[in-house]
């Protein structure tokens, strides 16, 4: 290895920006602070109507290992990420990490940890997500009746959403023990632990492996936004791929929203419209019966252990 050359992982990175260039710049800086750092970060501006593209080019355009590109049009989350995925694959990267701009890396060895967790069946690998100083990873541990109901509800267009939210709040507050029962989220702990399989990973920061990209392909652009994690989970399940949570690797998620930034008082109407569109796509793409029968068998839709190579 020549002088000044870095030993880098085989994971390239896509950071998708829409209007929120300040968060995107901080996200990229945190990625570059990793050791080893990624060889290439593709920052895709998803046709932001503000000055995002210009600001990103000014602040990141001359940074080594970073490319700033425009998607050309706002085709949604999957479309914008696919622009970056294709660019990285053409450059020869095996795996692609996609990060929302409101994330910041907290673990310097993140890429080494993610790479070491990629086994022969891994389709998606992701770190543990922290929010506001707490461990808060909304990954789904395994197929449960709770998750299947939630998925059916999302596919149905989230009927009676306000009533459902209020009921869950009241049950969780006034009936001891129900809060945990109402949750389908993965168990997380402050001390991390070894990589393990889960059914669904949090979509704010995840790595699509070479196996996923070769067997499944790029992200499904039928989804403009919302529901991507459920569809990814189904595609992994359908194709016999595992999803691996790496608790030792930590990423902070600020829960910022470019939707609120862009739409302001009209955000709720925009979100409701997009959720309705996503529901129609998920009804078409994700059948419930195979998941239901798998849940009845008690396997949870998971391989038996996190590094099963057989």
Give the pLDDT mean for 49-63.
95
Q: What is the pTM of this model?
A: 0.85
- C-alpha distance from residue 186 to each of 68, 108, 200, 202 (Å): 35, 24, 9, 10
Percent of the chain with pLDDT over 90: 63
Residue 245 β-bridge partners: 126, 196
Q: How confident is the model at residue 306 (pLDDT cuts 50, 70, 90)?
A: very low
DSSP secondary structure of 292-310: HHHHHHT-TT--SSTT---
Taking the C-alpha atoms of residue 10 and residue 224, their distance in angstroms, rounded to an integer, is 28
φ, ψ at 62 (rounded to 5°): -105, 10
Whether the pLDDT of residue 299 is over 90: the answer is no
Predicted pLDDT of residue 216: 96
Bond from prior residue into 36 cis (ω within 30 degrees of 0): yes
CA distance 242 to 118: 10
In sequence order, what DSSP letters do the residues of 54-71 get, joined into one string?
HHHHHHHTTSTTEEEEE-
Distance of alpha carbon 69 from alpha carbon 45, whole angstroms = 6
Label residue 186 by pLDDT band (50, 70, 90): very low
Q: Which residue has the higher pLDDT, 174 or 284?
A: 284
Please state the rounded mean pLDDT for residues 219-244.
94
Q: How far is CA 85 from the centre of its chain?
A: 14
Q: How confident is the model at residue 275 (pLDDT cuts 50, 70, 90)?
A: confident
């Amino acid at each position: 290895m020549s002088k000044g050359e870095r030993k880098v992982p085989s994971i390239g990175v896509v950071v998708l920006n829409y209007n929120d260039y300040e968060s995107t710049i901080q996200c990229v800086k945190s990625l570059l602070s990793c050791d080893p750092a990624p060889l290439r970060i593709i920052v895709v501006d998803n046709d932001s109507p503000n000055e995002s593209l210009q600001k990103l080019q000014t602040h990141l355009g001359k940074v080594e290992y970073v490319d700033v590109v425009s998607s050309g049009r706002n085709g949604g989350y999957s479309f914008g990420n696919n622009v970056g995925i294709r660019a990285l694959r053409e450059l020869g990267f095996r795996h692609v990490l996609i990060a929302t701009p409101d994330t910041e890396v907290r673990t310097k060895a993140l890429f080494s940890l993610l790479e070491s967790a990629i086994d022969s069946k891994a389709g998606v690998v992701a770190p543990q997500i922290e929010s506001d100083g707490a461990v808060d990873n909304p990954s789904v541990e395994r197929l449960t009746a709770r998750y299947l109901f939630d998925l059916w509800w999302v596919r149905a267009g989230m009927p009676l959403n306000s009533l459902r939210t209020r009921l869950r709040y009241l049950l969780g507050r006034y009936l001891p023990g129900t809060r945990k029962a109402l949750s389908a989220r993965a168990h997380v702990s402050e001390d991390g632990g070894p990589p393990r399989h889960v059914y669904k990973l949090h979509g704010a920061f995840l790595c699509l492996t070479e196996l996923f990209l070769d067997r499944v392909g790029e992200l499904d652009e039928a989804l403009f936004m919302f529901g991507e994690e459920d569809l990814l989970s189904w595609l992994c399940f359908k194709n016999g791929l595992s999803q691996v949570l790496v608790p030792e690797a930590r990423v902070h998620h600020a829960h910022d929203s470019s939707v609120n930034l862009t739409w302001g008082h009209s955000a709720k109407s925009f979100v409701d419209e997009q959720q309705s569109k996503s529901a129609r796509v998920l009804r078409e793409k994700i059948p419930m019966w195979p998941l239901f029968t798998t849940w009845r068998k008690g396997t949870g839709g998971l391989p038996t252990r996190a590094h099963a190579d057989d």
